[in-house]
Amino acid sequence: MSTPQPITDSAHLPVLPLRDLIVFPSMIFPLLIGRPGTLAAVERAIAGDKRLFLLAQRDSNQEDPTPDDLFSVGVIASVLQTLKLPNGLVKVLVEGLHRARATGFTLHGNSFDALPDSLELTGTEPLETRAQMKIAVRQFRDFVTLNRQLPDEVLMSLAGLSDPERTADFILTHLPLALPAKQEALERTDLLEQFRVINRTLEEEIEILKIERSVEGQVREKISRSQRAYYLQEQLRVIKKELGDEGEEDFSDVIAYRKKVRRTKMPKLVRDRAEEEVEKLKGMPMMSPEASVIKNYLDWLCALPWGVLTRDNLDLAAAERILEEDHFGLKKPKERILEHLAVLARVEKIKGPILCLVGPPGVGKTSLARSIARAMGRSFVRLSLGGVRDEAEIRGHRRTYIGSMPGRIIQSMKRAASMNPVFLLDEVDKMASDFRGDPAAALLEVLDPEQNNAFSDHYLEVDFDLSQVLFITTANLRHDIPLPLQDRMEIIEMHGYLRHEKLAIARGFLVPKQTRDHGLGKNEMCLSDETLLAVTDVYTRESGVRELERQIARVCRKVARDNVHHRGRKTDIAPTDLEKFLGIPPYKENMVDTGDRVGSAVGLAWNSMGGDILNIQATLMKGKGNLLLTGRLGEVMKESAQAAVSFLRSRGAPWSVPADFLKSHDVHIHIPEGATPKDGPSAGVTLATALLSAISGRPVPADVAMTGEITLRGNILPIGGLAEKVVAARRAGIHTLFVPEANRVDWSDLDPELRDGMNVHFVENVEQLWNYVFPRAKKSARASTARRSSSARRVH
């Protein structure tokens, strides 16, 4: 297109850009005008000969189109009427006159004009054109008859047309064509070809409309049959009721549900509720939505194991043998289950205990619950509570909601098919709560022996007896379990496995399992005890045995690949061969720095993954009394460090610590592995010891570890996770521990294997600990010895 030039020719017409619209000649069409440029074009047309040049936009989203944004062929139209609307828009009624092509554009303010060149149609007289027109008119009548969107008045307007050109334009105006197709029809000057395109289009549209009518008819017929059957069924029911001849043979579903209810061993109240629902079902149409809701409810009621009990295996020797076959160690939970079976052998019925197994991942909590079910001869169901945050997950949804169903407790009891299964609630410490409710609160009734004999699900709305279920819950951290739940459970702590226990588990369970899973023969791979211990020491660092099992699986895969052409060849793997199979060891055998070091002390920590040691480091630098803490310490650990500094400033004089030591020095405390978050109060005594070592220049023995929360008076408060901390110390090769005096009871509860070989000192305040760690800190060795013997007790 040419570049717009100033107005020089009076034959130019104002251009009106159209969006998503094509106006054909001889058609009268209302236009809604609102853009400043189009308003200006209309005003100039009214002021002149009332003619406009209508050109369609290529892109309807263009607000201010240029000549390049318009199609070159349009229609010259006459303005018949204008009407200003209250919202500022103008309604313009135009009539198309004839086709024209824009040959040049000129600017006129914020709009532009165009010089039109009229287009003449060809093929208006031949007989074939007339014949094609008659076919088009006949097909268009069929199209209007099938199309509900076009009124019958369209056919009346068509009857008054005899000119082929006007007939073609009239039909094109009412055809459902896209804008590009309509523009192509507007630009077509061969009238015979125009009618051929129209006829092809009409044939396609008529076929589509016939298919739509057929589909609608089928749907309408199906609905009519259903409505008719329902109407006749209701009439028949009313007639039989009036005659007193209403028989149950007309209610096959009702009879089936009554038989189901009678076959179950429901309590009387539940049976009455079920029969009440059956009576409701009898009085309503079987095709109604309410009937479907009642049927679903009755299906759930009848599917539950009312009164179904499995017989417990009361042979204690056999049960103990099964527990020992499946798991190594774990004496406390095994003893508790055997005690429960012993009581069951004496009394006919006992409320199921609610046990909570707390321990790090991989120590066998979940598999132990499955083993307990096998030992007792009961069915086993597992419900994972990790991430559950909706109370309805436990109690279910009320029947008023579409798609409602019972909660996961009732669903699991249906799967168990008995009233006394072993029910595992896994990861009870990882539930959450939000605006939908607190699932932990819903579990209070489930895990309360005084209430769970009448557990009420929101969907069932009848009492269900859970008192004979043996509930076992698992958790990684005890303090993450809500206190009301802890109060209802018997908590059994499960510490991480020791080195010799991992060896026994690997030898008796993991190696045979992985050998079998990888298709290796019994003698095809040989792992000595030294090799398994090497894998445990330098290729794993965990409380459980999951990583150990994965490493054994890696070895099996390597052996299977090496023996692919030599099936059955024996492969002996020595500790020195492990790098070939497992790569470079990721861990050192001993994590503690050897040798006594000034400003460094070993602490003990624990989290959901088990126990670990902390190499706490402290140093003094010239400065202005700033305390710098690094190593991603949490708020509680930072406060413990501040408490340690305050204690040394106020009570450090007997240990040669000047009260103003911070006046000219900065203190930097760092805990390595800075990418790992650390928090908790139990590192307080270790922080104070490392800081005292840095200030006084006296080294702390590297083979000593300590744990305890420190107060501003120097007292050492009790800590948690003692078993996991002892496991971590043994794993690091440390056998001398300093533990708060308040944890003496916890120490006595630990397994003998865990306590064996450990030199533990129970201390009440930090000065007792320092008497051991810094024996030359006092003026005389005799005074140190006397104080050490009188102020602390040691257990071997």
Residues 283 and 281: their CA atoms lie apart, in Å, by 5
| The two structure tokens encoding residue 349 | 């019925």
Catalytic annotation present for 663: no
pLDDT tens digit sequence for 188-201? 888 888 888 888 88
Radius of gyration in angstroms for the set of CA atoms belonging to the chain, rounded to a whole number: 45
Out of 182, 282, 725, 778, pick the active-site residue.
725
Q: Strands 709-710 and 716-717: what pairing? A: antiparallel
| pLDDT-derived band at 762, boundaries 50, 70, 90 | very high
Packing angle between helix 684-696 and helix 766-773, nearest 10 degrees?
50
Residues 775 and 758: their CA atoms lie apart, in Å, by 21
Catalytic annotation present for 725: yes
Q: Note the pLDDT of residue 738.
A: 92
Calculate the dihedral angle through the C-alpha atoms of 120, 122, 126, 132, rounding to the nearest 10 degrees.
Answer: -100
Q: Note the pLDDT of residue 777.
A: 39
**751 vs 52, higher pLDDT:** 52
Q: Note the pLDDT of residue 106.
A: 86
Q: Between the ranges 343-357, 452-466, 485-499, where is the mean pLDDT highest?
A: 452-466
pLDDT tens digit sequence for 589-603? 655 666 667 888 888
558: left (phi over 0), alpha (psi -120 to 50) or beta: alpha
Q: Are 598 and 697 in contact (CB under 8 A)?
A: yes
The residues, any chain, with a CB within 8 Å of residue 783's CB and separated by 6 or more, are none
Alpha helices in 284-438 (DSSP H): 289-303, 316-326, 331-344, 365-376, 392-395, 408-416
Out of 379, 467, 640, 682, pick the active-site residue.
682
pLDDT tens digit sequence for 33-49? 888 888 888 888 888 88
Q: Note the pLDDT of residue 787.
A: 39
Q: Note the pLDDT of residue 740.
A: 92
Calculate the dihedral angle through the C-alpha atoms of 191, 197, 200, 202, rounding to the nearest 10 degrees.
Answer: -80
Q: Which residues pair with 678 in a beta bridge?
A: 633
Q: Note the pLDDT of residue 352.
A: 66
387: left (phi over 0), alpha (psi -120 to 50) or beta: left
Q: Tell me what percent of the residues of the chain surpass a pLDDT of 90.
A: 3
248-261: average pLDDT: 71
pLDDT tens digit sequence for 329-376? 778 888 888 887 888 777 766 776 788 888 888 888 888 888 888 888
Q: Note the pLDDT of residue 280.
A: 80
Alpha carbon separation from 627 to 621, 642, 678 (Å, rounded): 10, 8, 18
Q: Note the pLDDT of residue 227.
A: 67
